Chains A and B, each alone.
Chain A
């Protein structure tokens, strides 16, 4: 690990993103991904190829299949929230297009979600 101080450096035969459960419609990218890159994604035990439609910060989620507004987002094979806008395959999935289904006052994302989207567009998002 110490020989690889940059988390974006990965072995060429490894995958770029992982979805632990084959039912998942999002995957976590294991390095920062640029728009237009073709990724190798581990979905359950399968390897699939997908082109990123947007920049995805390190450890953020990429959409694996077109998701309609209102559809559940599945990670670990379990719902982690709902799309509140259509999410095309290959784009960044985060607080700007999904929200929790729990403890909601009105079902919409809070102002913080929108602020974070702006932050994520500017930097790699791996830490602060």
Chain B
């Protein structure tokens, strides 16, 4: 099954053609929002931290800033930051890949925010005009990287919606595309099943270790997972333990071999199914997928969840009949007929694959129409 996408100079294929206004620190965040707000179709991402980041925070910041800027859904990037040095590495990477971009720092503008606003506005307008010349052309399923998310789940997620995503995960992996499962804490209780599908014993160890690290962090923080994950909403809907939630959640990954464990925002080094060691909360998790190169995310919900990625169309899938009926104009794919037994999950996967290709080819998701998108980069520790 093909889709129509934007073929980038670095070989990737975008499903959208955004101007990304990316503020790599917090000082230029308000200016970035002002400029993106004034330019039709521009998408603004502010990573509000930069100065004083160390260790894993610094690595995640740099990986995600680059990953978002080179995501294939981005047709051009306007980089804003404190000083030229903070933008240099990003500029070089974008230039190497032949991706359109302009960088502008406060220093470049004499620390005059009026000057920065005017210059960035003009530069952004020119970038949009240039990016608008791109045309969609046929692309194979193998060009896709998809992220798998669930949020505000109920038992219908684990019974139907997540196994349905698993079918799509298998199709994309079989076609030679990339599939990423994050939300490490939601492997807890199912990690032996994921480890059993690992390509090598080392990958299996990495999966178990990643889960153990989050579990230990919860114990050391004195946190009772009941009420944290599963959340009060999950519990009310009928999920009793993290193990129960995880067994449903990991069904999103389908059945194929797990090639490896990647870091948060890291690009998978090959095709197939990958697991990403990342926070489970949707805003951080989705941005991890997008920074890893995902053009699309598939997101199941049981009780409803409006949050989407800003840069990657996020397909909301729900199998709870009452909530599908109640949340019109928010659920992109109604999987409730598989819950009521009117259709098999396998048959519904065929329809969902078609919907996915439509959205990849330009059909809007409800989240895009409503503007429910954002990007949020994870933090790990204290800044200096």
Contact = CB atoms under 8 A, between A and B. Distances in A.
Interface of A: 1-2, 4-7, 10-11, 14-15, 18, 20, 28, 30, 57-61, 73, 75-76, 78-81, 93-95, 98-105, 109-110, 112-113, 116, 119-120, 125-128
B interface secondary structure, majority: helix
Contacts of A99: 226, 241
Given A6-B322, A94-B238, 9 more contacts: A4-B340, A5-B322, A80-B189, A103-B188, A103-B215, A103-B218, A125-B237, A126-B320, A128-B233
A interface secondary structure, majority: loop
A2 B334 CA distance: 10
A55 to B, nearest CB: 13
B242 A102 contact: yes
Contacts of A119: 236
B189 A102 contact: yes
A6 B340 CA distance: 11
Contacts of B155: 28, 59-61
Contacts of A60: 155, 238
Contact of B236 (A6, A81, A116): A116
B247 A100 contact: no
20 contacts: A1-B336, A7-B321, A10-B341, A14-B341, A20-B159, A30-B339, A59-B155, A59-B156, A75-B247, A78-B190, A81-B244, A94-B235, A100-B226, A100-B242, A102-B243, A103-B215, A104-B224, A112-B232, A126-B322, A128-B303
A51 B8 CA distance: 61
B120 interface: no
Interface of B: 154-156, 158-159, 188-190, 193, 215, 218-219, 222-227, 232-233, 235-238, 240-244, 247-248, 302-304, 320-326, 334, 336-337, 339-342
Contacts of B321: 1, 4, 7
A4 B320 CA distance: 12
Contacts of B325: 1-2, 5
A8 to B, nearest CB: 9
The 8 closest A-B pairs by CB, nearest first: A112-B227, A80-B244, A100-B241, A60-B238, A110-B224, A81-B241, A59-B155, A7-B322
